[in-house]
């Protein structure tokens, strides 16, 4: 199963859409955007380009899609005014898999550009947008054409389910009960994919170009640690409960594995240094609660302050994968049970996602 065919987030603007269930991702972007702003500020001050080409990889659709881009452009505009320079032109490439809801993004551009015009200083350069469908585990752009690459919450997705995980019975991801060969298969798939990603971006970025990547990870060197696997172990519980009741075939669960890997900081650093094309400027670790509502967001946005709310944003991400494998008849019941399980656990335990953010510069 190739990721180019599956997983895109739930499109549209419905109750289970990614657009309406992406507050977690918005919070992570807000927490880490100072790193991206620092990187693009250094890029601009060191090179003073007449035009800046920015690529956002794994942009998805919804309110988060243009958020980072707007913050990066505002950062450059603030600097060029401070330095008394003419504004560069901005070329923005929005990338995701072909199944992404690009139409929703394009429909939002006129209002976005109008809002940006009101926020930027006099003489701000034009912001030109292009959609670039395709997998980032391959070339997307011409050589030496990008100045800045950003990606948030996308690079933990693998290009495919690793080979050699057929004996991961009763699990849908790496788990405490998975045999050692499963962890080995997942890690080796991550190594292959991430090295290809770095090599492709090294071809596409100009010398001195910057890249800021945020992905789900773990602090621990143990790939079965609770901080990266627990949320999927709970989904496996819901699925296996339905197996015991005869609602799902056992073989269906045993043959389903999520194409994802959450690296440790040392694993991420190792891959970047091994590739040799980039120097590391920053590598930061942050965390966010599964239940992200902490008073910062108003509950009127529809986010439910319980396990069912957590299940909704997981559904917005995983539903396409589940439907492809299990069909859509069981989906509502799976996520109802999943929400109930999560609701019980978050009332008793501290549950967090670990985020890794790495900022790198292309050598040359």
% of the chain surpassing 70 pLDDT: 90
Q: In angstroms, rounded to a whole number, what is the distance separating the alpha carbons of residues 361 and 43?
A: 9
Would 229 be classed as within a structural domain? Answer: no
Asked if the structure places residue 86 within a domain, the reply is yes
The domain total for the chain is 1
pLDDT for 101: 86
Q: DSSP 3-state assignment of 55?
A: strand
Angle formed by the axes of helices 226-244 and 307-326, to 10°? 60
Could you read off the pLDDT of 331-350 as tens digits, one per residue?
999 999 999 999 999 888 88
Average pLDDT of every residue of the chain: 90
Is residue 300 one of the residues assigned to a domain?
no
**One-character DSSP codes across 254-302:** HT----B----HHHHHHHHHHH-SEEEEEEEEEEEESS--SSSS-GGGS
Residue at 213 is within a domain: yes
pTM for the structure as a whole: 0.92
Element (H, E) at 132: strand 127-133
Q: How confident is the model at residue 18 (pLDDT cuts 50, 70, 90)?
A: low
pLDDT tens digits along 265-302 = 999 999 999 999 999 999 999 999 988 764 444 444 44
Give residue-wise pLDDT tens across range 59-71. Answer: 988 888 899 999 9
Residue-level pLDDT at 301: 45
pLDDT at 309: 86
Specify the pLDDT at position 174: 95
For residue 4, name the pLDDT band (cuts at 50, 70, 90). Answer: very low
Mean pLDDT for 217-233 is 92
Where does the pLDDT of residue 187 fall: very low under 50, low under 70, confident under 90, or very high at 90 and above?
A: very high
Q: How far apart are the first and last CA of the chain?
A: 37
Residue 357 bridge partners (DSSP): 214, 284
Question: Which helix (H) or strand (E) covers residue 227, if one does?
Answer: helix 226-244
Instruction: Write down the pLDDT at residue 228.
Output: 86
Where residue 317 falls among pLDDT bands split at 50, 70, 90?
Answer: confident
Domain presence at residue 132: yes
- Look at residue 78 and tell me whether its pLDDT is greater than 70: yes
Q: Could you give the angle at the alpha carbon of 362 between the alpha carbons of 356 and 364, nearest 5°?
A: 160
CATH number of the domain to which 63 belongs = 3.40.50.150
What percent of the chain lies above the pLDDT cut of 90?
Answer: 77
pLDDT digits (tens, 9 = 90+) for 191-221: 999 999 999 999 999 999 999 999 999 999 9
Sign of CA dihedral 219, 220, 225, 228: positive
Residue 157 has pLDDT above 90, yes or no: yes
Whether 99 shows a pLDDT value over 60: the answer reads: yes
Does the residue 210 lie in any domain?
yes
Look at residue 175 and give its three-state secondary structure.
coil
Rounded mean pLDDT of 360-364? 96
Q: How far apart are CA 170 and CA 233, in angstroms?
A: 9
| Number of CB atoms found within 10 A of residue 129's CB | 16
Residue that wins the pLDDT comparison between 186 and 309: 186
Q: Give the pLDDT of residue 272.
A: 98
Q: Is residue 338 part of a domain?
A: no
Amino acid 17: pLDDT: 60
In a domain, 321, yes or no: no
- Domain assignment of residue 159, given as a range: 23-221+258-290+351-362
């Amino acid at each position: 199963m190739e990721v180019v065919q599956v997983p895109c987030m739930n499109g549209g603007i419905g109750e289970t859409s990614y657009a309406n269930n992406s507050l977690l991702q918005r919070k992570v972007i807000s927490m880490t955007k100072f790193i991206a702003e620092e990187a693009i500020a250094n890029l601009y001050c060191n090179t003073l380009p007449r035009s800046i080409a920015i690529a956002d990889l794994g942009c998805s659709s919804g309110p988060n899609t243009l958020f980072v881009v707007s913050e990066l452009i505002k950062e450059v505009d603030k600097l060029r005014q401070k330095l008394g320079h003419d504004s560069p032109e901005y070329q923005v490439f929005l990338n995701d898999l072909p199944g992404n809801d690009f139409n929703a993004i394009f429909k939002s551009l006129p209002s976005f550009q109008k809002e940006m015009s009101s926020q930027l200083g006099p003489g701000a350069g034009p912001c030109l947008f292009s959609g670039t469908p395709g997998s980032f585990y391959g070339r997307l752009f011409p050589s030496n054409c990008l100045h800045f690459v950003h990606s948030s919450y996308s690079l933990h997705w693998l290009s495919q389910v690793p080979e050699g995980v057929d004996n991961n019975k009763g699990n849908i991801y790496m788990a405490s009960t998975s045999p050692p060969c499963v962890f080995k298969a997942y890690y080796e798939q991550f190594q292959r994919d991430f090295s290809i990603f770095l090599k492709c971006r090294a071809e596409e970025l100009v010398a001195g170009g910057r890249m800021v990547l945020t992905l789900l990870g773990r602090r621990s060197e143990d790939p079965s640690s609770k901080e990266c696997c627990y949320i999927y172990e709970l989904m496996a519980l819901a699925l296996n409960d339905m197996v015991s009741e005869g609602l799902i075939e056992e073989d269906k669960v045993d043959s389903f594995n999520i194409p994802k890997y959450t690296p440790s900081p040392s694993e991420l650093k190792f891959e970047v240094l091994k590739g040799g094309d980039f120097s590391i400027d920053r590598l930061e670790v942050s965390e966010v609660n599964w239940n992200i509502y902490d008073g910062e967001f108003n509950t009127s946005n529809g986010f439910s302050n319980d396990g069912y709310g957590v299940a909704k944003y997981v559904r917005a991400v995983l539903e396409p994968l589940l439907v492809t494998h299990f069909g859509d008849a069981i989906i509502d019941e799976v996520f109802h049970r999943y929400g109930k399980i999560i609701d019980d656990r978050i009332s008793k335990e501290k549950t967090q996602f670990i985020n890794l953010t790495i900022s790198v510069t292309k050598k040359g």
